[in-house]
Amino acid sequence: MSFLTNARISIKVFIGFGVILLLLLSIASFGVYSLIQADAVFKQYRGLARQTNAEGRIQANMLMTRIYAKNFVIEASEENIQGVRDRAEQTIRMIEEARQLVKNPQILEAVDSLQEELRTYIADFEAVTRKQEERNIVVKKRMNVIGPETERNLTAIMLSANADADVEAAYLGGMALRNLLLARLYAQRFLIQNDQASYERVLTEFEELEKSQEELEKSLENPRRRELAWRARRNYEAYLSAFKEVHAVINERNQLIHGSLDRIGPQVAEQVENLKLRIKAEQDTLGPKAEAAMERAVIFALVVSLLSITLGILVGALIGRGIARPVRSMTAAMRELAGGNVNVSVSETGRRDEVGQMAAAVEVFRESMAASQRYEEDRRKAEQEIRESRDAAEAANKELDDKNTMLNGLSRKLSKYLSPQIYENIFSGASDVVLRTDRKKLTVFFSDIKDFTQTTGDLQPEDLAYLLNEYFSEMSQIALHHGATIDKFIGDAMLLFFGDPQSKGVVEDARSCLRMSIAMQRRMRDLQEVWKAKGFTKPLQMRIGINTGFCNVGNFGSNERMDYTIIGGEVNLAARLESQADPDGILISYETYAHVKDIVEVEERPSLVAKGISRDVRPFAVTNIFQDFEHEKRVLRHEGDGIYVMVDTEKLKGEAREKALAEIKSIVDRLGRTEA
In Å, the largest CA–CA distance within the chain is 146
Segment 645-654 mean pLDDT = 65
CATH no. for residue 444? 3.30.70.1230
Residue 350 lies inside a defined structural domain of this protein: no
* 84 and 206 fall within a common domain: no
CATH no. for residue 240? 1.20.1440.210
Residue 416 lies inside a defined structural domain of this protein: no
* 519 and 550 fall within a common domain: yes
**What's phi and psi for 577, nearest 5 deg?**
-60, -40
* 6 and 155 fall within a common domain: no
CATH no. for residue 53? 1.20.120
> Of the segments 144-153, 289-298, 322-331, 501-510, which one has the largest average pLDDT value?
501-510
Residue 421 lies inside a defined structural domain of this protein: no
Render pLDDT for 250-265 as a digit per residue (tens, 0 to 9): 888 888 888 777 777 7
* 508 and 651 fall within a common domain: no
Q: Whole-angstrom Cα distance, residue 149 to residue 143? A: 10
Neighbouring residues of 62: CB distance < 8 A, sequence distance ≥ 6: 87, 91, 118, 265, 268, 269, 272
Contact indicator for 125, 69 with CB cutoff of 8 Å: yes
Q: Name the pTM for this structure.
A: 0.40
Question: Amino acid letter at 551?
Answer: C
Distance in Å from the first CA to the final CA of the chain: 110
pLDDT at 169 over 80: yes
Q: How many domains does the chain have?
A: 4
* 650 and 627 fall within a common domain: no
Render pLDDT for 430-458 as a digit per residue (tens, 0 to 9): 565 667 788 999 999 999 999 888 877 78
pLDDT at 510 over 70: yes
Residue 495 lies inside a defined structural domain of this protein: yes
Render pLDDT for 183-220 as a digit per residue (tens, 0 to 9): 899 989 988 888 889 889 999 998 998 888 888 888 88
* 63 and 81 fall within a common domain: yes
Q: Print the domain residue range for 672.
A: 636-676
What average pLDDT is seen over the chain? 80
Q: 622: how many CB neighbours lie within 10 A of its CB?
A: 23
Residue 364 lies inside a defined structural domain of this protein: no
pLDDT at 234 over 60: yes
Angle at 107 between CA 103 and CA 111, to 5 degrees: 105
Residue 342 lies inside a defined structural domain of this protein: no
* pLDDT range class, residue 534, cuts 50, 70, 90: confident
Q: Whole-angstrom Cα distance, residue 306 to residue 391? A: 61
* 112 and 244 fall within a common domain: no
* 582 and 486 fall within a common domain: yes
* 623 and 667 fall within a common domain: no
**What's phi and psi for 493, nearest 5 deg?**
-100, 155
Residue 182 burial by Cβ neighbours in a 10 Å radius (0-12, 13-18, 19+): middle
Residue 218 lies inside a defined structural domain of this protein: yes
**What's phi and psi for 352, nearest 5 deg?**
-100, 0
DSSP track, 207-272: HHHHHHHHHHHHH---HHHHHHHHHHHHHHHHHHHHHHHHHHHHHHHHHHIIIIIHHHHHHHHHHH
